[in-house]
Amino acid sequence: MPESSAQLIDGKIYAERLRAQVADQVAALKAAHGLQPGLAVVLVGDDPASQIYVRSKGEHSLAVGMHSVTHRLPADTTQHELLRLVGELNVDPLIHGILVQLPLPKPLDEKAVLAAINPDKDVDGLHVVNAGRLASGQPALTPCTPLGCMILLRETVGDLTGLNAVVVGRSVLVGRPIAQLLLQADCTVTIAHSRSRDLPAICRGADILVAAVGRPRMIRGDWIKPGAAVIDVGINRVPFDDPVKAAEGRTKVVGDVHFKEASQVAGWITPVPGGVGLMTVAVLLQNTVTAAKRQMGIESV
Tell me the catalytic residues: 57, 101, 124
SS3 40: strand
Q: Let me know: does 157 contact 208? Beta carbons within 8 Å.
A: yes
Q: What is the DSSP letter of 143?
A: P
The CA-based angle 7-23-292, given to 5 degrees, is: 110
List Cβ neighbours of 288 (8 Å cut-off, separation of 6 or more): 37, 38, 39, 61, 66, 96, 97, 123
Q: How far apart are CA 213 and CA 217, in angstroms?
A: 10
| CA angle 176–183–128, rounded 5-degree value | 40
295 residue type, one letter: Q
**Torsion angle of C-alpha atoms 301, 155, 234, 38, degrees rounded to 10:** -10
Q: How many CB atoms lie within 10 A of CB 99?
A: 25
What's the rounded Cα separation, in Å, for the pair 250 and 240? 6
Dihedral, 209, 212, 214, 217 alpha carbons, nearest 10? 20
